Structure 1
């Protein structure tokens, strides 16, 4: 036994076991996240049953979400009259929807008090822009006060009119965001131009008249767009659907509020697959709605990728230059050792501390001075003196800088001394040796540092809450207005989106599947960024492999 232990075989097996457990833990987390997140887009059947609520029996319509066992005594203390010899009773969580009518979206029901479950094919699932889902039996479709279809003909007519309403909604959205937003942007630019000329003492009568002429033309264009918008709003509000809800009453739902409508109990497998693909695509490409608990997350994806790319552009050259100076040029002594210790310690500083530093230095000091020097016409409204994409990227660049420095130094240390001496012996200067020989050979290590930096930066949330990320950004940081990349703007981030939906949502139960879906997407995004960097690192490693033995 002693010889076996001394041979080191147990430690090999322990290491292999630890690696296997780590891999299994990662696979389990990914599987659980995918299982809970990807099922969010599948059309769920809507059940109809009865519930014995004391002396009365009420009808229940909704989606089955969860099952669990609870103690019979707990249910009896809650007022449920249940008789059973089993100390534990199963209860189910049903999404009732119709939150604007009942005031609750989810409710737990003891299973013994529920009647027979049925799945009528005429039940509608209506996804609304506000108030969440609506469930009910379709009865009729109305145009104004006139019933245009009822009974079996109501569903085909409803589909056609929902498509029309969705087309009008997209046109209204484009009109509000693009056309009217463009006019407002140009009006604001005229105001800033006039304010700047006033501060510089260059606002003469000719310039004032020209600005007024442009302002009147824009105002006329704005009035025309407003009239068009009003016409579209009246047009989209023309149609309504009539449905019977759980309490037997008839409710009218304006198609202007409908994002989507379908009959899940009547859908076949192919219809469900097409519905799933469409909903997943909407999740990737649409803007969020209903306090971020519904709709898509495209602004968060775009903001995360943009921030990571800007951070990488900032941190890579500074980290490499710092490492090159400390390894190649600085005299090795107590001062450099202290700097290295400080760099290593900075890697362990909590991220929220970097956020506080970024808010105090970048936003208030640098941003405030930039506004006073270059954007006085916009004051007191800040331009760079407020949290934004640039300050968030700089904050995360400082946070990840120690990782890049340490990795680059390790790469430089692995370059053989003979390579440097051979280059110098051939007449190259120290700078040429560094640029043409040493740095290319150390580039895989630099990419390793960048990979670690990207992985950490993409998942950080705490510092971003102070220096730029918001719940809902009105516009993307990249658009068609010069200078096209607006680093001063606030942005959305997948990590903060998960925090906001999971912990700040007014409807946590409804938002829970979206949290898993967003978390899975964030993991996939980090993996894609890392795989791209790893592929580049492997290419560089193969390219300079022949020089390692020189």
Structure 2
């Protein structure tokens, strides 16, 4: 091969070789290598993002797959055998020295041992959901098809064998027909729970809200100096409305008590792996299934059903059970309010700096200040939002418009409005810079042509310049959404909470309650990951919530990108 290359080089004209040498420098100067470097950087960023999605998905989504129940005996050295019925969550190799350091009596000479992380459930019996077991000591394993998992409202899951179903203390189904009876009564219990939830969170919540408004109306009259003697008609109207609401509440309370009695009718008789029978009220059971008796198709359906419940339900058990719908709702609503606030102010500021302000030292200093604001730590914005929006603006609003509620604050306390305004300040520099860059790219000839046709400067900006700059404005919004949706530190000071019993949007007048606190996906990840007492149960939920947060941010960004692309296609001819 070397000889052939030498012959070809010898046969080539000397001038051609010189041209080839000069061509390398010309190729570098042409900028083509930088295009490849940029493409490689983009590909690397894409791979990193995709890897992040795959990591969070593979660590979080298996939590919703029904794992098989393994029955066996666990017998440590020098101890009695303990029967167990567990889900094997993960395995790892551990050195003998580490196990001996943990107090285990290792008698063999193997350098490595397999350790299992298992979910034993039955927290009220064992005291903890998860436990580490040495694989060699977990013997006589089997996967009985009759073993069941029962998801409870409290205390996590319960593992056992369904032996029967009781109705008002009378056995109505034995072990052979227990699951059919359980499925039938579970549907009834779910329907009753839905009715109870609608009454408690719907009608009774509305009545409580109305009673609170009547109390505030009465307090408002008192602050105005109007007593029952000189404002008898107003007080009489309030009393009549209060009596009406209380009468409605009494009817609902009677109906609610009746539904709860019906829900408490059935009881499950479950035998644990050690042979003891436990009676579990069906009112405390949300779901039940036999994972060892399910095929792949049945498990797939179960997986998507649990994933849907995770997205649509409220959290339970210190956020380690249930769903995350309030956090999704709060995140999206906060981003929408933030976008509504930041876009007008960002566009107007950029418009003034580019089109109206006299270019000089002051304008340049303002631009430098705006660019520097983008690098300020987010927690500083949170402290500013707490001090200015909450304690100053909110307190002033309470004194001016909600004096009847004092000393309990209405707007003078952290809430979703102040969180949205704080993030609007946080992302304002991004929108200003992106919009100003878009305005700078519009040819001067376009402005001059509009003015020559008789349009005023304001009409030119409104009808010509801003529409052409709209793709850049949308780019600023995309960057603002990407940053704001994942921020957590400032929100901890100005509105986010661990659990919000009421959403900021409901059916009570005025329907949108901007003063309420809210849940956020980013803070939910922090709370579940670092504040949960049940670490092993929380770990997969952290990954699942992180995966969902990335999807929410992608959905918001893709929506904005779609609008930007349409605007770009619409005004491409004008830019050309």
What is the TM-score with the length of structure 1 in the denominator? 0.97
> In the alignment, does 2:393 pair up with 1:369?
no
> Residue 114 of structure 1 is aligned with which of 111, 135, 138?
138
1:323 is aligned, of 322, 325, 350, to: 350
Distance 2:145 2:25 in 1: 68
| 2:163 match | 139
The residue that corresponds to 1:87 in the other structure is 111
Match of 1:402 among 407, 424, 429: 429
- Residues 15 and 210 of structure 1: is their aligned pair in 2 closer, same or farther, counting only changes over 3 Å? closer
Question: Does the C-alpha gap of structure 1 residues 12 and 408 become closer, same or farther in structure 2, counting only changes over 3 Å?
Answer: closer
Q: Of 20, 23, 36, which aligns to 2:43?
A: 20
Count residues in correspondence.
Answer: 549
Q: Distance in 2 between matches of 1:35 and 1:70?
A: 23
Corresponding residue for residue 412 of structure 2: 385
| Distance in structure 2 (CA, Å) of the matches to 1:196 and 1:326 | 46
The answer to whether structure 1 residue 506 and structure 2 residue 533 are counterparts is: yes
Give CA deviations for 1:436-494 in whole Å, capped at 9, x if unaligned: 11111111100100000011111111111111111111111111222211111111111
Q: Distance in 1 between matches of 2:369 and 2:37?
A: 34
Counterpart Cα distance in 2 of 1:337 and 1:413: 15
2: distance between equivalents of 1:374 and 1:55? 70
Secondary structure at 1:117 match in 2:
strand
What are the ranges of 5 or more consecutive residues in structure 1 without an aligned counterpart? none
Partner of 1:164: 188
Q: What TM-score comes out, normalization by structure 2 length?
A: 0.92
**C-alpha distance in 2, partners of 1:473/1:129?**
18
Aligned twin of 1:187: 211
Q: SS state of the match for residue 242, structure 1?
A: strand
Which residues of 2 match residues 24-423 of structure 1 at below 5 A? 24-53=47-76, 54-203=78-227, 204-423=231-450
Q: Offset of 1:388 from its aligned partner?
A: 0.8
Moved more, 337-346 or 227-236: 227-236
Q: Deviations over 1:275-306 (max 9, x none)?
A: 12221221121111111111121111111111
Contact 2:382–2:493 (Cα < 8 Å) also in 1: yes
**Pairwise CA distance, 1:384:** 0.7
Alignment root-mean-square deviation, CA: 1.6
**More displaced stretch, 7-16 vs 29-38:** 7-16
Q: CA–CA distance in 1 between the matches of 2:198 and 2:333?
A: 23
Deviates more, 1:478-487 or 1:409-418: 478-487
Secondary structure at the counterpart of residue 459 of structure 1: coil
- Partners of 1:468 and 1:72 in 2: how far apart? 49
SS at match of 2:74: strand
Bigger Cα Rg: 2
Per the alignment, do residues 12 and 430 of structure 1 end up closer, same or farther by CA in structure 2, a change over 3 Å counting?
A: closer
Tell me the distance in 1 between the aligned counterparts of 2:34 and 2:339.
Answer: 39
Q: Which moved more, 1:26-35 or 1:450-459?
A: 26-35
The offset of 1:55, in angstroms, is: 2.8
Q: CA deviation at 1:499?
A: 1.1
